[in-house]
Amino acid sequence: MTLGCDIRHASRLVYSKGLDLSDPEAATPIGVGCKVCERPSCPQRAFPNIGQRLAIDENERRFAPYPVK
């Protein structure tokens, strides 16, 4: 599932308050879905990506929920 909206609608959302919507660097890239997304350190990941081995160390805490090798 991909969430978000087209930039032309962003000014109508409360979450855009204070953001410079004309700055292309302010945009957050949105993948096609967590299972096929190749962004390795995404803190919003809901599922591990397909085809990647998880790097799990029960003695270490990480920011990304599904770290890969």
What pLDDT score does 1 carry? 41
What pLDDT score does 3 carry? 55
pLDDT at 21 over 80: yes
Tell me the whole-structure pTM to 2 decimals: 0.43
Check residue 49 and report its DSSP letter: P
Distances from the Cα of 39 to the Cα of 17, 30, 52, 62, angstroms: 27, 10, 12, 15
pLDDT at 40 over 80: no
CA 28 – CA 55 distance, rounded (Å):
25
Element housing 19 (H / E) = none
What pLDDT score does 39 carry? 77
What pLDDT score does 10 carry? 86
